[in-house]
Every structure is written in structure tokens, then in C-alpha cells.
Structure 1
Amino acid sequence: MRNDWGGQTFPHPVGRKPVIGDVLGADVNAPLQSTMRRAADLGPIFEMHIFDQKFVFVTGAELAAEMCDESRFVKGLSPALVALREFAGEGLFTAYNDDTNWALAHDLLRPAFTKAAMQSYHPIMLAAAQELFDLWDSHGKPVDVSADMTKLTMETISRTAFSTDFGSFSRSEPHPFIPAMIAALKAGQRKGSLNAMPGASLLSKRIDKKNAHHLAYVDQLLDGIIAERRAGEVDESDLLGIMLHTPHPETGARLDDVNIRHQILTFLVAGHETTSGALSFALYYIAQNPEILAKAQAEVDQILGPDRDVEPTFEQVAKFRYLRRVLDEGLRLWPTAPAFARSPRETTVLSTGHTMRPEDWAIVILPMMHRDKAVWGEDADQFDPDRFVAENARGRQPHSYKPFGTGERSCIGRQFALHEAILVLARMLHRYDIAADPNYELDIAERLTLMPRGFELTLTPRVPAVVREPSVV
């Protein structure tokens, strides 16, 4: 974990102090955004010292592409992910590369994201979206976009992962599992951030003691669901059923109940936070630009027709190409999982001339790599969905767009997330006209993922246009 890179040095922000290193100038509530500001002119690779820990960051697209070479590099686990392992164990996101359960779970769960499986999730996604729309229609007030998108994606993933309804649209207070899960996550994040500080061990023990009851409740609830399903009839209609009853096709190996719990937690955490953030950023940028809103609504009207209550079929979701570009561009500027770490398989020399050993790791900062002007142009900070039109994307630097991670450890649920997000955007924009507070300035909360904070939309029932000729979007 010490990550000393054999004593090699890199550019660093001004103001480094003895002992504490580059702590001054960092914002503990927005570490990513403060790092982006401080590192704007430091080049494609730089470092920060936080007490005795060395963090090496990559922001250049060409160097990041080099580190995405699976023949030379693998996923690295930063201190934050190591701390998260205490909560999510050997889940797909937090497992070490040589954890046998990672390979087993990955092989077992791939069939859960085939086209046939996605078709079975489609009506569940539609039903959850309709419940949210019914809630909005019943109160008629401006909606807190991030909060409601989080409710929606949590319900979707819980229902598809293990057929459990948390009642997010009917309860006045959230299901106890949700605040317990969030508290356990925050505890892990705090421990990860304290890793390099003097007295970190003592502080970590205090955090563990304070949050032990949250972790115990989460474990107890999920273990109970797993035990109940084991005792019942075989049902492979959701992710839990697949993990419980499907042996590895070659070895016959199965996941044990503890690892199944870790996988469920991984899907709950990663599967709802990232998608809700992606939806929220997309809606923010749509609401800021009347031309983009008009194009998006023209597309949904063309595909769905004049009935605002119609639901898209599974096959129609792939036809919303402009909505997909909007979603992609939002994830370019603000990838909701904003970084990943890489380590070499064996000692190697980077194109920068630095020697990197298997015990070293570097963190690719995606919001900076996605803004590399050498790839994205001088207007890289601007929102433009047409960057993802095929002719504009042709010839672009490989590996320059990585919102779902890279290589064999990239997000296994990518198609699930994209299908859900596009489905929700299509239904929303077909059903409602949206308007944001003109005085709102984008404020980004840094949780486990990135999320707009305090962003509200006023929704007005909409009459879709009757489209007689195909629109060009």
C-alpha cells in the first residue's frame, strides 16, 4: 500500500510542506474536484503526498491508454478500495485480481447480462419508472433529481438482483437497509482517507466500533434473504437465483453464501449510485440547453408516438441514439465512477520514462483524462453530444473514453445501466416538459460516486408532438 515508486518523483502542486506533504489546499469534502483544480497544469502524470502516502495520478489520454493495455497492466486497488473490501469483501468491484471468487463470480454472472436476461429485466425497469412518475404526478412539486433517481435505481437493482422491494416510492422514510448501507459505505471511505495519517489505526478502530451495528444489520438482512431463498424452490430469474443455483459450467464450483452476500452488496452499491448519477448529469445538461432538449424530445416522439403514457419496448430502447449520445457526453464530463487504478503485471518502463513495479499503482482521473484537449479539442470542457456521432468519433485515441472502467475488470453491468438510463430518459422526456431553476449552478457531491447536489426540475405534463416525417437527430 505504500506506493513509493522506488523513490521516483513527479510534478506536484505548489505548497508542499514537511510531514503533511500536499494536504494544504485539499478539500476533504470534494477531494476529486480540488485535485482537478490543483493539478490543472501539472501534465499527464503527477503526484501528491498525503502524510507518508504517495498518490500518483494520470490525466493524459495517451498515457492512460498505455495503462489500459491488458497485456502489461491489471487493476490496482487504491487505499479507498482496500477499505471498501471490509464492507463488500471479494465482490466483483473490490476483489483482488488473484481472488478465486472473482473469476468464479464473473463467469457465473455473465449470463445474467445477456440479451435474454436483459429482456426479462425490461418490464421491472418500466414498472419502477412508472411508480416514480405516479409519485411525481401525485404531489406536483419540483423534484430533487438526484434523490429521486437514486430511489429509482435502488428499486430497480434490488428487484432485479434479488426480487426485493424496498418501498422507496411508498414509504415516508427510507427502508432501514438503505441508511445502514450508506453509513457502512461512508465508514469505509473515511478509513480509506485516513490510511496515511498518523494514528490511523486508532481512528479506524473508533470508526469500526461506531458503525459496527450498521454493518451487522446489512449482513443480517442479506444473509436472511439468501437463507430463505436457499430453503425455497429453485428460481433463477434474478441475480441471486443464478448465484445460488448455477454451478460453473467447467469446474462445477459454486459461490458460498458469504461471497453471494458480497456480490449482492456490490451490485446494490455500484448498480444504483453510478446509474442515478449518470441520469442526473444527463438531465442537468438537457435542462441547460433548449436545443438539446428539443432534439431529445423530437427523437422520443418519433419513436414512441403521440401517447405520453406509452412504454418503450425492449427493442425500441436501442433506437434512442441521440439520448445515448447525451448520456455518453454527460459521462464524459462527469463519469460517476471517476477513477480507476492500474498496476503493471511485471516491472515495466512507461512512455514517460518512469519505471513502474507490480507493487506500484497509479490512479487514472477520468474527468481530466476525458477533457484531454489533444483528444477532445479546445472545447473539451463544453457539453456536446455530437462528439459521439460516428464520423466525429472515428480515429479518436483508443481508450480515451472509459466511464465503465477498463479491461476484464470493467463494469459487468454496463449494458444493464445503459438500458435502464436510456429507458428512463425516454419516458421522462416523452411524458414531461422539464425546466430547471435558471439560477442553479452545478454543485457536485462526492460520495462513493459523483452526483449533482441540490438540482431540481419542475415537471409539466406534456403532449408529445405528432411526427409525420422522420426527424434527423
Structure 2
Amino acid sequence: MKNERSASPLIRRDLPHPPRRVPLLGDITRIDRYRPIQNEMALAASLGPIFERKVLGLHFIYVTGARLAAQCSDEKHWERALYGPVLEFQRFMPDALFVVDSDNPLWGQARRILTPGFAQKAMRSYHRAMQSVADDLVAEWSAGDGVIDTYSAMTRAAGEVIGRAGFTRDLGLFHDAPDSADSRAFIDSLGDLLRMASDAGLALPIVGPLRRRLVEPRVRRDVEVIHSFSDRIIAERQAHPTDDEDLLNLMLTATDPETGRRLPTDNVREQVLTFMAGGYETTAALLESVLYYIAADRELQEQLRAEVSARGGFDHKAITGMRLIRQVLNECLRLWPPAPGYFRRARTDQDLGGYRIPAGQMVFVLALAAHRDKDVWGPDADVFDPSRFEPDRLRGHPDRFFEPWGTGPRSCIGRQFALHEATLLIARILSAFDLSTDGAPLVMRERGTMRPEPYQLKVTPRAGR
């Protein structure tokens, strides 16, 4: 996508576009303000693997085919670009890992310092904290009435995992604790900011600036809440140092192997926010999708439960060996990636599907659509089928495109953390409960991430668990 008043003269004029284009207004009649990403995926079915739309002088290019999306992942010819909702986050965390520009020295410094925090040795140290959250979740559900608000439960579980594993801090999201009220206020404010960033990043000219002025007081209040919460976590650790092997100590004490420098304190705040914002929202979204599909398929549920039982426990080795659960996670990430796409900028003039994309032009790689490309994933690409991630079947799709974590050096640093956490939580839930839903369809909403509309999960404790 490129925010410009007129299309570049180098772009061929025959790029496919939605029908019934209106003079001056462009393709405004084909916009879905509430589910824009899913709307673009639907357009891809008729317009093909690359298309454009023009709206009020803005020019947008979408890449929805798997092979073209893979071409845009080539770091030699393409680079990351910031635009839309992610760019909005720069307003209140400008140097956070997931929004800072790649040419900012702080990005490389933070990435090098934090990378060891997601190696296997570090993951083993986080495992016990993740287990404690799983135990609290099971205890809460066992004491309840059997009807679970999945949105609340998964939000609190993912947030608490970040708190306990990343910062060695009980946030009190499952019981009353000193941090409970502040933690809930933090989660609420961060959720508000995600929603407002999504709205602002996708807003149309004229309407967008007016809406931003209306919500600006609320934005300032929410930013103050999340900054104060993060600053307190950091200040308390600085006042009472520990030898905990967690992300917070890594941020505060580790040095960059290239420069020998530590992260500035104000940047530590932004990295704390990075893992809270990126970690809880996307993982919660994934867990909600997984629970829905498992609850809707009794046979799959029993297969997963058999795998859990066969592993004989929930230690680190057992969880890393639960391959079938990982296949389910991957299939949900394929169908409903919480980050449904990303922006790329051409480093040099490119031939993309027969269309010339000039140097500097941005495109939006719609992973949500490319993950479902029938040309590379097969005619049943829209069908939920975890077995497609079995090694033998994957070899049958050599051109498959699967990038739910982004691409290149700016891909998600915490992917292994999220996958291990999700595997453990799903395994513990399956060991303790039979799951079912009321049969309502899964509906996805968009607020910067792709996440299910809140739904109720029915859980029945298993005898002798």
C-alpha cells in the first residue's frame, strides 16, 4: 500500500480492481469498515493474486497469491514497511521492537540482546511459570459453572504467562493480588489502544482525522496507564535486583554483543510493552481459535487427548513432543493468522505477477488469503485439516506459503514462546475437561489483530483427571 495522492506513472494501469469504480471516490463502495481484511480476502477470489483499489486519492496494492507473497519475502528485493495500525503504535511506543524502523540502531541492539531470551535454555526456565498459569486456569474452570467466556479466560491466561514467565511477576489475573486492579486496568487500556490503532490505521481521509480528535483524550489516558504500569515493573526490579532468568533481567542487565551497550531504561519500558502487547493479544487470539475447532470436533478432541496421555505428563520434554497439538496450532495459524498480513516495500523496480512495481512502492501481503491459495495448498485450502501439516503431506506442497509470524529479520521474536505456551495450555485443558460449543459459527473480528468474536465454551470436568 502507498499513501499517495495519485498512482505512480510506473505502475501499469491494468492492475485488476473491484468493479463499479466511482470517479474521484474510487472503490469506496467496496469497503467494509468493520472487517476490511476479510473483505479483501473475498475480493481476491474474483480479482486474482494481485489487485489494486483506489479510495479518495489513496492507492492500495494487495498481494494475495501464495507465490507472489513468497516473492515479496525476498529480502534482497523487498523490505519491511510500516503503515496502518502498526504505524499508529509508534505514537506511544516509538522504539518498541515491533514498530521501530529497521535503520534505527536501537532495533538491532534490542533484537540481539533479547534473542537469547527465546532459545531452548530460556524456554525451559519459563516452563514452570507457564505451568502455574495452566494450573490456575484449570482450577478456575473446575470451580465454575461449566460455561467459559473464552475471550476473558484466554486474555487473562496469555497476559499472566507474560507476567510470570517474562517478568517473574504474578499479575493477579486469576486471583486477588496486590497487582490485580492495576493489571486489569493495563489489559483494558492496551485493548482500547489496539482497537483505536486499528480504527485510525484503516480510516479514510477527512473522517479519520475527525475521529482521532474525538478519541484523543481517551488515548492519552490509556497511554498513561500502560506507561505507568510498565515503569513500576521496571523500577521495582531496579530497586530490588534478582538473579531471575527472565526477560526483564535480560533487558536490564544484558549487553549487546556488537556494541557492548545495555538498553536505555526508557527503551526497556518499550520492550516490556512489546511483549505485553504482542504476546498476550496474538496468543489469546490463537488459543480461542484452537479451542473452538477442538470443541467442535469430538474425534479430533479424543486424538489430541490420547497424545497428551501418551506423553505421560506436562514437563518441558513432554510438551515439546506433542506434535499433533502443534499441527492444530499451525492449521489455525494458517486459516486465521492473528497478524493477517504485513507491508513490504520494493527496494528496486519489481515484476510482480506481470505488473511493474516501482522502487519505493508499498504492497500489503495478505497472508490470510495467501495461506488459503488453492494453487499451492490444494482445492480444500479453506477447510480446517491439521493433518496437512504432517511432514509427508507438507512435502506435497513445495510452494506452500505459511508466514503467520511475519517474514525476514523482522519476524516475531517470540514465536517459540507463544507456541510452547499454547501447546501447554491446550494440553492441560484437554486433560481436565471435555469441551463443546453451542454450534454457532466462528466469527472473526479485526482490531489490529484477527481474533474471534467472544463466544462461550462449555467444559465438563473429566473423571479421574
Asked if these proteins are the same fold (TM beyond 0.5), I'd say yes
Measured after TM superposition, the shift of residue 433 of structure 1 is 1.0
* Residue segments in structure 1 that go unaligned for 5+ positions in a row: 305-310, 466-473
Measured after TM superposition, the shift of residue 57 of structure 1 is 0.8
What is residue 307 of structure 1 aligned with on the other side? none
Residue 289 (1) aligns with residue 297 (2): yes
Q: Contact between 1:89 and 1:259, CA under 8 Å: does it hold in 2?
A: no
What is residue 451 of structure 2 aligned with on the other side? 451
Residue 145 (1) aligns with residue 161 (2): no
Q: Cα deviations across residues 217-242 of structure 1 (Å, max 9, x unaligned)?
A: 21122123222322332545221111
Letter of the 1:423 counterpart:
L
Q: Secondary structure of the equivalent of 1:92?
A: coil
Q: Secondary structure of the equivalent of 2:451?
A: strand
Q: Cα deviations across residues 165-209 of structure 1 (Å, max 9, x unaligned)?
A: 322112597621111222223332232223x41264454344323
When residues 352 and 426 of structure 1 are mapped into structure 2, their CA distance, relative to the original with a 3 A threshold, is same
Q: Secondary structure of the equivalent of 2:40?
A: helix
Q: Contact between 2:305 and 2:431, CA under 8 Å: does it hold in 1?
A: yes
Q: Contact between 1:92 and 1:105, CA under 8 Å: does it hold in 2?
A: yes
Q: Cα deviations across residues 335-361 of structure 1 (Å, max 9, x unaligned)?
A: 111111111233333342313312x11
Measured after TM superposition, the shift of residue 5 of structure 1 is 5.5
Q: Contact between 1:338 and 1:449, CA under 8 Å: does it hold in 2?
A: yes
Measured after TM superposition, the shift of residue 89 of structure 1 is 1.7
Residue 316 (1) aligns with residue 337 (2): no
What is residue 192 of structure 1 aligned with on the other side? 201
Q: Contact between 1:334 and 1:450, CA under 8 Å: does it hold in 2?
A: yes
Measured after TM superposition, the shift of residue 416 of structure 1 is 0.4
Residue 160 (1) aligns with residue 165 (2): yes
Q: Give runs of aligned pairs for residues 225-244 of structure 1, distance below 5 A.
A: 225-233=233-241, 235=243, 237-244=245-252
Greater mean deviation of Cα atoms: 275-284 or 183-192:
183-192
Q: Contact between 1:342 and 1:361, CA under 8 Å: does it hold in 2?
A: yes
Q: Contact between 2:199 and 2:447, CA under 8 Å: does it hold in 1?
A: no
Q: Contact between 1:87 and 1:185, CA under 8 Å: does it hold in 2?
A: no
When residues 376 and 107 of structure 1 are mapped into structure 2, their CA distance, relative to the original with a 3 A threshold, is same
2: CA distance, partners of 1:91 / 1:6? 32
Q: Give runs of aligned pairs for residues 1-150 of structure 1, distance below 5 A.
A: 2-3=3-4, 6-7=8-9, 8=11, 9=13, 10-150=15-155
TM-score (norm 1): 0.91
Q: Contact between 2:138 and 2:432, CA under 8 Å: does it hold in 1?
A: no
Letter of the 1:210 counterpart:
R
2: CA distance, partners of 1:144 / 1:38? 33
Measured after TM superposition, the shift of residue 140 of structure 1 is 2.4
Q: Cα deviations across residues 267-296 of structure 1 (Å, max 9, x unaligned)?
A: 111111111111111121122222211211
Greater mean deviation of Cα atoms: 289-298 or 368-377:
289-298
Greater mean deviation of Cα atoms: 360-369 or 36-45:
36-45
Q: Contact between 2:346 and 2:357, CA under 8 Å: does it hold in 1?
A: no
Residue 402 (1) aligns with residue 403 (2): yes
* Residue segments in structure 2 that go unaligned for 5+ positions in a row: none
Q: Contact between 1:61 and 1:397, CA under 8 Å: does it hold in 2?
A: no
1: CA distance, partners of 2:305 / 2:185? 38
Letter of the 1:180 counterpart:
S
1: CA distance, partners of 2:423 / 2:146? 24
Q: Secondary structure of the equivalent of 2:382?
A: coil
Q: Secondary structure of the equivalent of 1:165?
A: coil
When residues 160 and 65 of structure 1 are mapped into structure 2, their CA distance, relative to the original with a 3 A threshold, is same
Greater mean deviation of Cα atoms: 315-324 or 30-39:
30-39
1: CA distance, partners of 2:194 / 2:214? 15
Measured after TM superposition, the shift of residue 250 of structure 1 is 2.6
Greater mean deviation of Cα atoms: 443-452 or 323-332:
443-452
Measured after TM superposition, the shift of residue 254 of structure 1 is 1.8
What is residue 350 of structure 2 aligned with on the other side? 348
Measured after TM superposition, the shift of residue 464 of structure 1 is 7.2
1: CA distance, partners of 2:211 / 2:246? 40
Q: Cα deviations across residues 294-329 of structure 1 (Å, max 9, x unaligned)?
A: 21112112222xxxxxx5010111211111111111
Letter of the 1:125 counterpart:
M
Q: Secondary structure of the equivalent of 1:323?
A: helix
| Aligned CA-pair RMSD | 2.0
Measured after TM superposition, the shift of residue 21 of structure 1 is 2.4
Q: Contact between 2:376 and 2:400, CA under 8 Å: does it hold in 1?
A: no
Q: Give runs of aligned pairs for residues 354-365 of structure 1, distance below 5 A.
A: 354-358=356-360, 360-365=361-366
Residue 389 (1) aligns with residue 390 (2): yes
What is residue 211 of structure 1 aligned with on the other side? 219
2: CA distance, partners of 1:39 / 1:353? 16
When residues 378 and 255 of structure 1 are mapped into structure 2, their CA distance, relative to the original with a 3 A threshold, is same
Q: Secondary structure of the equivalent of 2:92?
A: helix
Measured after TM superposition, the shift of residue 26 of structure 1 is 2.2
Letter of the 1:444 counterpart:
M
When residues 36 and 180 of structure 1 are mapped into structure 2, their CA distance, relative to the original with a 3 A threshold, is same
Q: Contact between 1:87 and 1:188, CA under 8 Å: does it hold in 2?
A: no
Q: Contact between 2:126 and 2:166, CA under 8 Å: does it hold in 1?
A: no
Q: Give runs of aligned pairs for residues 420-431 of structure 1, distance below 5 A.
A: 420-431=421-432
